């Protein structure tokens, strides 16, 4: 790893902050009656007006500025004229590019009043991500990250999606290594200072199998069970980690008010 990673970190901080601020910005709009297209439009304009560019737009033919994954959608949901309804749970995933570097982050949102089942899933998904983040430091291995997430959620009888994973990220959107959200302790690549990647566990109430819809993007749970996800972009420092995509408003878990 290039030991001159501080410049890279500085750029990741800026891109990560804009991505997180974009989620902060769209938060008050995410409520019953609003379409996911509306959230997409606010995201596009906010990132553009703040010196960045939305990475999903035109990425491999994707036609929107963010992903909106509702209920049993695991990830890569496409914004549409679908109106958010009381009881829905929604993941909004924003990726901003600033000065050539990427910040990628997602959070869950409650639409109106959600079920206890949904709330528990969201809480566990967030906690699994944070458990994995808290162990990050040079010398641990990628398998340790997966183990933290998998052991925590499987104990609650949830499942970890296998078909999608976290990823290296810096001046490209998706780069090696893959960050699997399941795994065994002390296996896989060792973490080194300067590495930058996402942790973005997708956790299902039912089985882990996914199915891709005909639009070529939307991934749903095969058994139609609810799915939740959170995502942060992080860097490994000399003795720990830095989260680049922390909310400026201290939003962590819904509800955010």
The residues binding ligand MF3 (CB under 6 A) are: 56, 59-60, 62, 67, 76, 93, 95, 104, 200, 217, 231
Stretch that binds Co ion, among 2-10, 16-24, 25-33, 230-238 (CB under 5 A): 230-238
| 221 contacts Co ion (rule: CB under 5 A) | no
59 binds, among Co ion, ligand MF3, none (CB under 5 to 8 A by kind): ligand MF3
Number of residues that bind Co ion (CB under 5 A): 4
62 binds, among ligand MF3, Co ion, none (CB under 5 to 8 A by kind): ligand MF3
**CB of 93: closest distance to ligand MF3 in angstroms?**
4
* Positions 22 through 81 that interact with Co ion (CB under 5 A): none
- Give the CB-nearest residue to ligand MF3: 56
**CB of 190: closest distance to ligand MF3 in angstroms?**
23
Residue from the set 40, 93, 144, 148 that interacts with Co ion by CB under 5 A? 93
Q: H/E/C letters for each residue in the chain?
A: CCCCCHHHHHHHHHHHHHHHHHHHHHHHHCCCCCEHHHHHHHHHHHHHHCCCEECCCCHHHCCCCEEEEECCEEECCCCCCCECCCCCEEEEEEEEEECCEEEEEEEEEECCCCCHHHHHHHHHHHHHHHHHHHCCCCCCEHHHHHHHHHHHHHCCCCEECCCCCEEECCCCCCEEEEECCCCCCCCCCECCCCCEEEECCEEECCCCCEEECCCCCCEEECCCCCEEECEEEEEECCCCEEECCCCCCCCCCCCCC
Torsion angle, alpha carbons of 68, 69, 74, 75, to 10: -10
**Shorter beta-carbon distance to ligand MF3: residue 78 or 89:** 78
**Shorter beta-carbon distance to Co ion: residue 172 or 186:** 172
56 binds, among ligand MF3, Co ion, none (CB under 5 to 8 A by kind): ligand MF3
**Shorter beta-carbon distance to ligand MF3: residue 101 or 217:** 217
Burial 129-142 (b: 16+ CB within 10 A, else e): bbbbbeebebebbb
**Shorter beta-carbon distance to ligand MF3: residue 119 or 129:** 129
Joined tokens for residue 9: 């970190």
* Positions 178 through 217 that interact with Co ion (CB under 5 A): 198
**CB of 85: closest distance to ligand MF3 in angstroms?**
23
What residues make contact with Co ion under the rule CB under 5 A?
93, 104, 198, 231
């Amino acid at each position: 790893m290039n030991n001159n990673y501080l410049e890279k970190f500085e750029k990741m901080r800026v891109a990560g902050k804009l991505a997180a601020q974009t989620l902060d910005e769209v938060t008050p709009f995410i409520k019953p009656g609003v379409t996911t297209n509306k959230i997409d439009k606010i995201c596009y304009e906010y990132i553009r007006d703040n010196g960045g560019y939305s990475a999903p737009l035109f990425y491999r033919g994707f036609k929107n500025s963010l992903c909106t994954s509702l209920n049993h959608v695991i990830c890569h949901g496409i914004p549409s004229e679908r109106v958010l309804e009381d009881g829905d749970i929604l993941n909004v995933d924003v990726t901003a590019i600033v000065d050539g570097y990427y910040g990628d982050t997602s959070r869950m949102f409650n639409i109106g009043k959600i079920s206890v089942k949904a709330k528990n899933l969201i809480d566990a998904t967030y906690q699994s991500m944070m458990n994995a983040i808290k162990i990050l430091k040079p010398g641990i291995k990628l398998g340790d990250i997966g183990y933290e997430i998998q052991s925590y959620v499987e104990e609650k009888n949830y499942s970890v999606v296998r078909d999608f994973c976290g990823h290296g990220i810096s001046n490209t959107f998706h780069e090696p290594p893959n960050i699997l959200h399941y795994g065994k302790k002390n296996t896989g690549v060792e973490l080194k200072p300067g590495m930058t990647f996402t942790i973005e566990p997708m956790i299902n109430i039912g089985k882990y199998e996914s199915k891709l819809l005909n639009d070529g993007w939307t991934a749903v749970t095969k058994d139609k069970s609810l799915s939740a996800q959170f995502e942060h972009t992080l860097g490994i420092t000399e003795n720990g980690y830095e989260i680049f995509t922390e909310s400026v408003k201290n939003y962590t878990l819904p509800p955010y008010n």
